[in-house]
Structure 1
């Protein structure tokens, strides 16, 4: 006999690993189904997942001194020229840089073809190039491009629900759609072999593409103290990944140069603005100088002053000379008009500038000398002398007129010379004022000119500084990717699918096991109760399915070596050890906490097992409310209730003789079952049965639901409490222990019915099952529907 002791078995309550593994192994069909489903799904994911390629490039970040080192130590052990690599990494990861890279490489437009379940990215190997001239950055467009012939393509399968689902477009022509304009141009990959092959073209939202590539971009600092960075990118096209990495470094360097030249650019803008202003101001000053010189007829103040002084002296000398000539002319005139000197010769070579007058005076003097000589030789009456006198008078008048004309001319010239001399003197006097004004204008001109030249010089220096700005990052290893895809990994995905297929049912079954509070095996009972444990009746699922629909619940056989028959033999043997010396153990009562525990099944098969040992056995159905056993074994009109209620009924009247054992049915349904069971006739009945049979098997009602089981238990020698595996909550085991400790039921023992012995790894899965149960309510004799 096997008993359970809480103190001795306290350490055996836990589930060991072998039991757990054997329990999971018993569910191998579920594991196989889960592995097939998850493995198939994993294969589908592998076959439909796009290839992902890996590309990387290595760059070195230069320090501010353009040296390719990250840090140096000066003589005072201070770090100088240290590059903040973390800042550069954040710049590489910035959204603005990635947006520029995506726009330049046109990574927001993808070209894909189907290869089985997988889409293959063409990138630059696409036979056509699709552009969207007026598309917005956030716009999404998708359609299929199919080459029809050498000049025509077909656009179909639009994702934005165009009014028409099919367009034939000439290459290089513009197609106007609801979403905007589309232009399809051929590339150098355009071949007749692409005819009829649909190419999926998708223009994605720019921000979404930028965000995806920001996530795919990886940046690693090779060493803590170094400024060498490895940039890596994952993409469905290896060529596009390489182009994007190269473009990322290019854009980064452009931004770095732009940052470095920002001051120079601002300086250049300032210089250009100032040059425009100063050029205008310089032009205005030069115009003022030009106007001043034009208005004052001055090219150079010093030269003009010398010229004016020379003019003044010259005109002054001319005026003096004219004054001398005038005086000479007046002297000659006075001499000619003096009556006293009418017969005298006229002075010649007096310095008169008019040679005509000098010639006339010379001719006059010669004529007069000739006349005087004739007079000496003849008289005044000589006609020749008279003629000569007339000539002399005429000549003298001519000389006087010439002298008058010369005086007028000299006066005019003298006045003009004096006037010129006066003007020259005025100009000389105005020279200091003009010189001051001109110096002021020239000073402004020189200032503006010097400033203009200075700015021109600075502009050239600034342009030279801009041209000398160096890149911030130098490429050590150019972008290069793997030819083989790094994802999806077939073996990893399939292995993961298999592991998930194993994990899902494993987790489910473990959760079911650990969250299940029902009693399933002996280990669930051990340690919780101290009453004797008689054994367990296994559940043979296959056998019970074969017996489905049969009312006969007999499963034990005389020569049977099945586990169920052996379990009843063990139960029969253990019962013998519970009897006390000198007191026969004849009346065995079966009860339980809940309906459907299998009391009728066990009592029936236990009776047959005892019969096989040549024992006289009778089965008494004390379930006088429902008579479950009676229904299974054939209900008799006269039974226990008839015997208890009618004194005229004898024991022989209620006994039914079956094959191997006798049966006493419950009888007619009584309105007062509890009162009947309290009657002494029940004791008399069992006393009589003790004399006739070796064993009296009593199928009783559940304890605790109604009082029948406790009332009728007084006739029992052994009370077997039946626990149905999978039905009784483990939290009810203390209630069973309480019944045992309080001795409410006589000589109480426990049997586990319907145990799944393979559940916790006992190595065999035989058993039985049955599908019936009680329908007790709380009213007397009322059947619960």
Structure 2
């Protein structure tokens, strides 16, 4: 069990989330969503009704790259996604803005329309806030700048201050204003670009929009002319340098060829590789032949003088003379066999037949020896041929290395001549080309539609602003709600508890609400309420928690204070007593006892008195009208943990087991003191009370680890304070069915 719990604590796998979980989060965090939604809508309304109306004028311009005569060839047309983006950056550049300012004389003729005189009005709260933040930020920057500049010279400080404080001219201010107000958007699937400009005055919007197109054309022409002029100047200078370099390289190459007779060497270089390749091929064939003959000789030597074994070798077996001799020997032997049936061994016919057989065998051995000698001679010849070829290849390689050494410098000089000639020819061609096309535009620009005088303002769009505010508020509120839910690490589910720790949840106790404060006596006053049913469910689970019999001594604890362990002890005792069981509550919280207050009993003597030896008997008080007894905590001792872990505590529990069916030990929280850990070792089981929406998994991880480390037997969890709206349908039936009983 402990290994499983530890593994579940260390491994936090992500659980599948259903749609009802999302709806539950939205309903739970509805206040956050509504607040964000209302704020977003209010801000949208304020901005829509307080913004200055702007008029927008737009013109359509066809922009395409000029390929010149190359444009007649379809191969030159290619997809350039960055082309229109580049042109858009040029259109919105400050240089184009300056041309518009000069063209329309905006600093003089239209100055009052572009930049009207500001009236002395009381700044708004937002303006004052911006000014305050800007002033604070400037002060911080000035402080660090002064500390850094303390080590610089006076001249550096003067240069920095002049560069930082130099104001923009009025023309530059107008140009930046125009550039910032331009909006360039390509028309999809075309080469047309829409250029628009917005201003408070519709006339200015129209004039600036049309003037931008002309300024853009002039800027592109100036870019082309400046680029061509610089290119021609640079290429002319570079061509002169390359011409001189080419002449020097050609002279050096010619002198080197004369000194080293490189014409002959070049021919040798073309012949020698072919000769080397031929020698290599012959050597491969010779080595192959030598290896074959060597293998054949090895077989012959292994056969030795055994003629029959030699004749199994292919070169002997395929020899025509040996074939004929083998047939004659075979016939001679057959003849001797037939004659031996008629004549004796000394008969002249037999003697003659044997002599013929002997002669044939001699001829056979002679022929075998002749083939062996022939094979050895062939091997020696092949070996000699291979060695000769190796010597020829070595001599040829040496000759090639000598030739290559002489040819290296030639190749270097020749490459230098070739590269200089190519570069020089390219520069001459480019100079001629630039001279012909220096007056042509690299980009073709045509005005498809001029800007008209706008009649109605383009912004603010109140309806769109309201819809955007509504959408942003709704999605922002939902996102914030899920963020808060994600950061909430508290316990909110029975299923999650059981999945993480592998420990059953004995039951969930519903939350009464602020109106029902006396929760300790509520189940007596309302025995059919959802709260009473919650504890009955806990009782049923507790009675079934052990295989043989229910646990007798039960420790009730929690992770932190205020999670409801004392109330759980009281109500669980009453529910157990209602079933006819004798129940004893032992107040083991010797630091902050509450049981005597709940049951209105005196606490002059109790558990601490018995454990410390100040009393011979543990005074157990009966609760009037209930089948419950209580052993109060007694006076607060200086060493509660030592008393609870003493031998007398075990003796006391052994005594009360005999008198009571159930003994409930109400103990301090696990995370604050060690009292509960000492009691968990002597109890039959431990009930851990966790508070819905308050107890975090981090607290529970540490507490469960402490209990498992001391080998405490955990019976299960009691999820306390479960609200009806968060119960996921567990207690809806109770709320509706027993509403009349609670009333």
Offset, 1:600? 0.6
Which residue of 2 is the match for residue 212 of structure 1? 177
Per the alignment, do residues 554 and 494 of structure 1 end up closer, same or farther by CA in structure 2, a change over 3 Å counting?
Answer: farther
Higher Rg of the two aligned structures: 1
Offset, 1:561? 4.8
Report if aligned partners of 2:671, 2:703 keep a CA contact under 8 Å in 1: no
Which residue of 2 is the match for residue 694 of structure 1? 661
Report if aligned partners of 2:60, 2:448 keep a CA contact under 8 Å in 1: yes
| Correspondent of 1:232 among 186, 196, 217 | 196
Q: What whole-Å deviation, never above 9, does each CA across 1:471-519 have from its counterpart, x for those lacking one? A: x966442212553433323233222222332334433332233233333
Which residue of 2 is the match for residue 39 of structure 1? 41
Offset, 1:44? 0.5
Find out whether 1:753 has 2:720 as its counterpart: yes
| Aligned pairs for 1:35-74 within 5 A | 35-59=37-61
Which residue of 2 is the match for residue 744 of structure 1? 711
Find out whether 1:712 has 2:679 as its counterpart: yes
Which residue of 2 is the match for residue 142 of structure 1? 117
Q: What's the RMSD between the two structures over aligned residues?
A: 4.7
Offset, 1:48? 1.4
Offset, 1:741? 5.3
Offset, 1:585? 3.1
Distance 2:209 2:671 in 1: 80
Report if aligned partners of 1:534, 1:575 keep a CA contact under 8 Å in 2: yes
Which residue of 2 is the match for residue 274 of structure 1? none
Offset, 1:603? 0.6
Report if aligned partners of 1:97, 1:248 keep a CA contact under 8 Å in 2: yes
Q: What whole-Å deviation, never above 9, does each CA across 1:297-356 have from its counterpart, x for those lacking one? A: xxxxxxxxxxxxxxxxxxxxxxxxxxxxxxxxxxxxxxxxxxxxxxxxxxxxxxxxxxxx
Which residue of 1 is the match for residue 479 of structure 2? 507
TM-score by length of 2: 0.52
Offset, 1:669? 1.8
Distance 1:75 1:579 in 2: 93
Offset, 1:539? 3.4
Stretches of structure 2 that go unaligned for 5 or more consecutive residues are: 78-82, 124-167, 227-443, 735-743
Report if aligned partners of 2:671, 2:699 keep a CA contact under 8 Å in 1: no
Per the alignment, do residues 22 and 565 of structure 1 end up closer, same or farther by CA in structure 2, a change over 3 Å counting?
Answer: same
Report if aligned partners of 2:498, 2:504 keep a CA contact under 8 Å in 1: no
Per the alignment, do residues 571 and 107 of structure 1 end up closer, same or farther by CA in structure 2, a change over 3 Å counting?
Answer: farther
Stretches of structure 1 that go unaligned for 5 or more consecutive residues are: 64-68, 111-122, 124-128, 132-136, 145-155, 160-202, 263-471, 768-785
SS in 2 for 1:528: helix
More strand by share: 1
Distance 2:530 2:551 in 1: 26
Per the alignment, do residues 741 and 531 of structure 1 end up closer, same or farther by CA in structure 2, a change over 3 Å counting?
Answer: farther
Distance 2:502 2:574 in 1: 29
Offset, 1:675? 4.4
Q: What whole-Å deviation, never above 9, does each CA across 1:415-463 have from its counterpart, x for those lacking one? A: xxxxxxxxxxxxxxxxxxxxxxxxxxxxxxxxxxxxxxxxxxxxxxxxx
Offset, 1:49? 1.9
SS in 2 for 1:527: helix
Distance 2:694 2:643 in 1: 31
Distance 1:24 1:764 in 2: 20
| Aligned pairs for 1:134-283 within 5 A | 142-144=117-119, 205-219=170-184, 230-249=194-213
Report if aligned partners of 2:555, 2:679 keep a CA contact under 8 Å in 1: no
Report if aligned partners of 2:43, 2:469 keep a CA contact under 8 Å in 1: yes
SS in 2 for 1:588: strand
Per the alignment, do residues 715 and 625 of structure 1 end up closer, same or farther by CA in structure 2, a change over 3 Å counting?
Answer: same
Distance 1:508 1:737 in 2: 32
More helix by share: 2
| Correspondent of 1:623 among 585, 589, 595 | 589
Per the alignment, do residues 108 and 636 of structure 1 end up closer, same or farther by CA in structure 2, a change over 3 Å counting?
Answer: farther
SS in 1 for 2:195: strand
Find out whether 1:570 has 2:537 as its counterpart: yes
Q: What whole-Å deviation, never above 9, does each CA across 1:248-297 have from its counterpart, x for those lacking one? A: 345567789999999xxxxxxxxxxxxxxxxxxxxxxxxxxxxxxxxxxx
Offset, 1:567? 1.9
Report if aligned partners of 1:217, 1:232 keep a CA contact under 8 Å in 2: yes
Find out whether 1:669 has 2:636 as its counterpart: yes
| Aligned pairs for 1:481-496 within 5 A | 482-496=454-468
Q: Which moved more, 1:708-717 or 1:486-495?
A: 708-717
SS in 2 for 1:722: strand
Distance 1:596 1:215 in 2: 60
Aligned residue pairs, count = 462
Distance 1:27 1:524 in 2: 20
Offset, 1:627? 1.5
| Correspondent of 1:601 among 523, 543, 567 | 567
Distance 2:726 2:641 in 1: 40
Which residue of 2 is the match for residue 721 of structure 1? 688
Which residue of 2 is the match for residue 18 of structure 1? 20
Which residue of 2 is the match for residue 99 of structure 1? 98
Find out whether 1:535 has 2:507 as its counterpart: yes
TM-score by length of 1: 0.50
Offset, 1:622? 1.3
| Correspondent of 2:497 among 509, 515, 525 | 525
Per the alignment, do residues 637 and 85 of structure 1 end up closer, same or farther by CA in structure 2, a change over 3 Å counting?
Answer: closer
Distance 1:212 1:763 in 2: 64
